[in-house]
Amino acid sequence: MSLEKIIAIAGKPGLYNLVAQTRAGFIAESFIDGKRLSVNVQQNVSVLSEIAIYTLTEEVPLKQVFLNIKKKENGEQTSVSAKDSKDKLEEYFFEILPDYDEDRVYASDIKKVIQWYNLLQSHQLLDLLETEPENKSDEEE
């Protein structure tokens, strides 16, 4: 499994694993409760390998942000909770990504990154980040 098979679905909590493709979309399995659901092509879905965080100079892939968190936390759960105050979340994010763009990265984005990291960590999927090959088609937009 890689970040290319892990998705976030708008309006649904947590992360999902792509299981199978159907005519009208695909089947995804929740990392939270293991339930499977049918996702149609009209739903807003984000593949983790395609997500990046704005910094003052560039966009940093989510994979690199996760690796920075993993290094800071020694592979453990984050020392902050997604329910902590906005100031505490921003302070933590500055430690892992010092030049992130405060105007374009909101507290809600930081909460998602922390929740997603902790979910991947609890399912022992962080090791995939280091063995995953770099995406060669980053400039396709």
pLDDT recorded at residue 55: 95
90 and 30 housed in the same domain? no
pLDDT at 126: 83
Asked whether residue 32 is domain-assigned, the answer is yes
Q: Does residue 57 share a domain with residue 40?
A: no
The pLDDT value given to residue 4: 87
107 close to 93: Cβ distance less than 8 angstroms: no
Q: Are residues 32 and 55 in the same domain?
A: no
120 and 60 together in one domain? yes
Residue-wise pLDDT tens digits, 80-120: 999 999 999 999 999 999 999 999 999 999 999 999 999 99
Q: Are residues 59 and 43 in the same domain?
A: no
Task: Please indicate, yes or no, if residue 90 is contained in any of the structural domains.
Answer: yes
Q: What is the pLDDT of residue 132?
A: 47
Domain extent for 112 = 51-131
Verify that 127 and 70 share a domain, yes or no.
yes
Q: Which two tokens stand for residue 56?
A: 């003052």
pLDDT along the chain (141 residues), means of 10: 87 93 92 94 92 96 95 93 94 95 95 95 83 46 36
| Same structural domain, 69 and 116 | yes
Same domain, 57 and 25: no
Q: Are residues 61 and 44 in the same domain?
A: no
Q: Say yes or no: 86 and 97 in one domain.
A: yes
Measured distance CA(12)–CA(31) in Å, rounded: 12
6: Cβ contacts below 8 Å, ≥ 6 apart:
15, 16, 17, 18, 47, 48, 49, 120, 125
Q: Where are the alpha helices (DSSP H) in the chain?
A: 62-73, 86-96, 107-122, 127-131
Q: Are 79 and 68 part of one and the same domain?
A: yes
Instruction: Check residue 3 and give its pLDDT.
Output: 80
30 within some domain: yes
Residue 56 shares a structural domain with residue 114:
yes
pLDDT at 129 (0 to 100) = 74
Residue 139 lies in a domain: no
The answer to whether the beta carbons of residues 14 and 32 sit under 8 Å apart is: yes
Token pair recorded at residue 1: 């499994």
